[in-house]
Structure 1
Amino acid sequence: MQRRRTGRRTVLIAAASALGMTATLAGCGGSAGSGDVTLRLVAADYGDSKANSSQKYWDKLVKAYEADHPGTKVEVSVYPWTDVDREVKEMVARGDAPDMAQIGAYADYADKGELYKAEEVLSIPVQADFVAQLTDAGKMNRVQYGMPFAASTRLLFYNKKLFSAAGLGAPTTWSELAADAQALKARGVKIPYALPLGPEEAQAETMQWLLSGGDGYTDDVGTYSLDSAQNVATLTWLKDDLVGKGLTGPVAPAKLNRADAFAAFARGEVGMLNGHPTLMKMAADKGVKFGMVPMPGVSGKTRATMGVADWMMAFKKNGHRDQIGTFLDYVYSEKNVLAFSHEYDLLPVTTSASEAMAADSDDADLTPFLNELPSSQLYPVGKTSWAAVSADIKQQIGKAVSPDGSPAGILGSLQQTATTRDSAG
């Protein structure tokens, strides 16, 4: 979810950029003049420099909005991903909540009754326009509080040169993936399949594999099911058929982070790995010819790919419900959703913008990712326990596929902890 276009050319974006665009915040929703209202929005930065900071996107949008809505001012403060969630948490804790926040999670605030419901601020057409999977992920106890703002999916990337040299085609099943990896290893490929289960983003790689094995982190009613028979079988297959046969390279999966795996693919050292749109630019810049296909399942295409979304939320603290709603309706207009998606090569979160992107030949590079969105499954972000459970997975899951690891044991331990955290609320 971290690329950008200049014109129609793509430029790599670092999700957790070092940039800190910290515009000064006004007091609690203060007034811009008699009868005027000032809305405060805290947003995450999808850029990696001042030149491509999300501040520029918001400044342009706000300027156009204020010109058509006299009496409402909007102040936007943009923070890097490394800081934005903490900044909002601290603002809320000291009683200085912004009117809106565009960050990584909403559940804690919704659970404490601090957010407006989506239906309380958005018009019916705008709320109904969200992609269904994203709407569902934004719900807590069947009520939508999180409004999706940006989305991405994952595909299996493969190195066309390495595959061609080995006479291989893109895999469609696990057995084909393992056979391809074995053939690549025989030809001296350093990392036939990159399996990043290191602490950076192990929860993502794990979820993609669990989905391809027919299950996931939760069951159909939203209860954690980490130690299901299907999940145990999935990690056992990874341990025995990929890691155990030396098909995942010289670095143990528990110590391999996603960023390092992507960099290795861009150097031509990796045969296959799961990736999101960022990897396209990285690989192309290094001259790596690659293909992208849906993640293989046990015996065919997996039932769902992993989706990722970032969230907009509206706080009750300052009582500006009507003004917030009017502004967010504008933010989620087709034109603005497409503008943001094009700027950072993300997937639109609305059906209308998704259809427009699918019909635009200039967006052909994102089409494979867009096609996966309707069947995607997102993290269980509606659970207040998810942040802690995700951290547990990052720290523990790599051990499950180590030579002396126990998939059943690790998943069982994670399930027990997840259940405890969930019960604690």
Structure 2
Amino acid sequence: MVSALGMTAVLGGCGSTGSSDVTLRLVAADYGDSAANSSKKYWDTLVKAYESKHPGVKIDVSVYSWNDVDRKVKDMVAAGHAPDMAQIGAYADYAAAGKLYPASELLSIRTQADFLSQLSEAGQWNHTQYGIPFAASTRVLFYNKTLFAKAGITPPTTWDELAADAGTLKDKGVKYPFALPLGPEEAQAETMQWLLSGASGGTGYTDDIGTYTIDSAPNVETLTWLRDDLVGKGLTGPVAPAKLNRADAFAAFADGQVGMLNGHPTLIQQAEKKGVKFGMVPMPGRTGKARASMGVADWMMAFKQNGHAEQTGDFLNFVYSEKNVLDFSRTYGLLPVTGSASNTMGESGAAADKALRPFLDQLPTSELYPVGKTSWAAVSAAVKQNIGQAVAPGGSPSGVLSRLQATATAADSGDAG
């Protein structure tokens, strides 16, 4: 998912903002997978509705892909030309540098109170919320119903069952019995899902108080199992996990070449377009249901440089209305970040909303990346580049995790958040 858009809004004559026009710029990420469903269309519609109620407003939209959007914003800030708002993947570095408005200086109490609590908490740096959740997703295990029926197997509920199912699928000639994307695109996500479902409850990347525990014994055990019981037995397909990216794994699933993989809501639309019959179940744990699903949130933030807190806040209150949150979530198959929109979606009888229920059900108990740590960006990058080596035949899970722990500890030493 990714797309960045630059918005320019000229605000004037509303409330106490005065009669002079103010230009606001928003850079956002594109969640579409083609020009036909680019996020630019979503923002164009939203902006038109906002402008119709604010005659002095002009909003100019530009869109970048997820591959570029974070870097674009970083370059703009470094050049002294921060946008008024950015809707990107991480906020903590900017918060720590004192560049962002706290959410409380922008949003109405009603808007703030509507965010799902674990998302608001994940948006905090140094106990103050700077990251405003914009989109959320969780992960479930997708499986190809047609391939499972041909193989005479049922969806797994434990790791041993998952490995057994993958073995049966391999015997039936399935190209990717279990697709394990640990390539540099999004390895930090696949890894975290496995760590959370590991032995001893799974520890993820950090403990309950936010200290990195990457090289914990349960985490070493998890990657050792992946190396020996999945990768080592040839159950993950022809592309080494370290070289398999998430987008390629999703495309292979949509082409009917994958038996099972961990997926987020956008895979529903991708698979349905290709006519793949699929089912979804919670990610199995080592001996039963995983302790938690992995949750992911993308963030909206507002930069202080241009001093437009009041105008920016007015626009963001509109962005986070129930209608607009639902429109975005439904367009891109993602989960609402507000309680009002979540409740509406959960009670809806629409087929598309029902399809998101397995993800919606997991969101309240999901665990998010440690995004409130300024060190997370460096740690995430290191995981993307190195974790695939741990599960390669002959790889050393303990060695790779120890090096990642050292990277995390060093990066964390200067982190006040």
Tell me the TM-score normalised to structure 2 length. Answer: 0.92
Q: Distance in 1 between matches of 2:5 and 2:114?
A: 31
Shift of 1:115: 0.5
| Partner AA of 1:423 in structure 2 | S
Moved more, 201-210 or 164-173: 164-173
Q: Is the 8 A contact 1:196 1:205 kept in 2?
A: yes
Consecutive unaligned residues in structure 2, runs of 5 or more: none
8 Å contact from structure 1 (residues 102, 311) kept in 2: yes
Counting aligned pairs with the same residue, the percent is 71
Residues paired across the two proteins, number? 406
Spell out, residue by residue over 1:52-90, the C-alpha distance to the aligned partner (whole angstroms, 9 max, x if none). 332222222223223333555544433222222222222
SS of the equivalent of 1:323 reads helix
**What's the counterpart of residue 238 of structure 1?**
226
* Structure 1 residue 51, shift from structure 2 partner: 3.9
Residue identity opposite 2:22 in structure 1: V
Which position in structure 1 is the counterpart of 2:179?
Answer: 194
Q: Distance in 1 between matches of 2:192 and 2:374?
A: 18
Residue 31 and residue 95 in structure 1: after superposition, are their counterparts in 2 closer, same or farther (change >3 A)?
A: farther
User: Partner residue of 2:409?
Assistant: 419
The answer to whether the 8 A contact 2:5-2:29 is kept is no
The corresponding residue for 2:53 is 68
C-alpha distance in 2 between matches for 1:151 and 1:270: 25
Quote the Cα distance in structure 2 between the aligned partners of 1:398 and 1:411. Answer: 11
Query: 1:272 is matched by which residue type in structure 2?
Result: M
2:133 maps to 1:148: yes
Q: Which residue of 2 aligns with 1:58?
A: 43
3-state SS of paired residue (1:361): coil
Offset at residue 30 of structure 1 (A) = 9.3
Cα–Cα, structure 1 residues 325 and 34, in superposed 2: closer, same or farther, change >3 Å? Answer: closer
- Pairing 1:268–2:256 present: yes
1:118-153 per-position Cα deviation (integer Å, ceiling 9, x unaligned): 111111121111112211211112211000011111
What's the offset of the Cα at 1:250?
Answer: 2.5
- Of 326, 342, 346 in structure 2, the residue corresponding to residue 354 of structure 1 is 342
Q: Pairwise mapping of residues 105-254 of structure 1 onto structure 2 (< 5 A)?
A: 105-213=90-198, 214-254=202-242
Measured in 1, the distance between the counterparts of 2:370 and 2:309 equals 27
**TM-score, normalization: structure 1?**
0.90
Partner of 1:315: 303
**1:305 aligned partner:** 293
Distance in 2 of aligned mates of 1:99 and 1:179? 52
CA–CA separation in structure 2 for the residues paired with 1:196 and 1:379 = 18
Residue 29 of structure 2: aligned partner: 44
Alignment check: 8 A CA contact 1:72 1:323 kept: no
Q: CA deviation at 1:268?
A: 2.1
Query: Residue 374 of structure 2 aligns with which residue?
Result: 384
Please say if residues 43 and 76 of structure 1, whose CA atoms lie closer than 8 Å, have aligned partners that are also in contact. no
Cross-structure match for 1:7: none
CA distance in 1, matches of 2:289, 2:232: 24
Say which SS state the counterpart of residue 356 (structure 2) adopts: helix
Q: Equivalents in 1 of 2:228, 2:32: separation in Å?
A: 40
CA distance in 1, matches of 2:265, 2:349: 17
* Alpha-carbon contact 2:11-2:54 (below 8 Å) kept: no
Q: Name 1:35's counterpart in structure 2.
A: 20
Cα deviation code 1:20-60 (max 9, x no counterpart): 8667x69xx89899433232222222234444332222222
* CA-CA distance at 1:285 after TM superposition: 2.9
- How far apart, CA to CA, are the structure 1 residues paired with 2:32 and 2:171? 40
In the alignment, which residue of structure 2 is the partner of 1:12? Answer: none
